Amino acid sequence: MQKSTIPFLIISFFLLVVLNSCAVKTVQDFDKIPVSKAIYKTPYFSDKSVDYVYKSSISVYGRDFGGIFIAKKINETTHRIVFTTEFGNKLFDFEIAGNEFKVNFILEELDRKIIVNMLKRDFMLLLINEFQVDEEFENTDFTVLKSKEDKRFNFLFVSKKNIKLEKLVHSTKSKEKISIEYLSENNTLAEKIIIDHKNIKLRIELNFLRN
């Protein structure tokens, strides 16, 4: 009986090591705490009266595109986003309503399925106004809200110091895929946003343009 137990313990140990090595590291050093709210409402891109206008740059697979990014909340479920050159030539024009994504226009150089799908994922994440909170974690500086999205997860890092959303990490069960970092002065408008992919060459930087 004792001999048969040893191989089982060895196998269990190695399975535990493998599972831990495959687990996403996003909240590895955080403490799990009870969920304090079922829904988290993001403050950014939520005001229908505001045209969110940013000087922007997109770097994708070695190609760089610069210009003006405009996001507008049309109604409670729909945003429209347009990216143009500084001379007003349109590079892309999308509409996002929940899980629905409509391409009104996209420049031929960007009109590749893999690029369109990446931009779709990025801007859907950026414009979500509500997240269902499934788990909650904390350390000294941040409260982290975990929200399940199909087979993936979103981790929202809210600063304890000023209660601002400072980062969003989008991941699978084992790997971080996308990070969105926000720099905000007043918790209603993100003056600077950086969207960075972990495993592909795509980076988007947005800097708010004041009137």
Question: Has this prediction a pTM greater than 0.85?
Answer: yes
Strand 100-106 versus strand 130-132 pairing type = unpaired
pLDDT in tens, the chain (211 residues): 455 555 555 555 444 444 344 457 899 999 999 999 999 999 999 999 999 999 999 999 889 999 999 999 999 999 999 999 999 999 999 999 989 999 999 999 999 999 999 999 999 999 999 999 999 999 999 999 999 998 999 999 999 999 999 999 999 998 999 999 999 988 889 999 999 999 888 999 999 998 7
The helix or strand, by DSSP H or E, that contains position 160, with its residue range, turns out to be none
Three-state SS string over 14-27 comes to HHHHHHHHHCCCCC
Domain range summary for the chain, segments of one domain joined by +: 24-208
CA–CA distance, 133 with 130 (Å, rounded to integer): 9
* Residues 106-130 as b or e (16 or more Cβ within 10 Å = b): beeebeeeebbebbebbbbbbbbee
Fold of 24-208: outer membrane lipoprotein receptor (LolB), chain A (2.50.20)
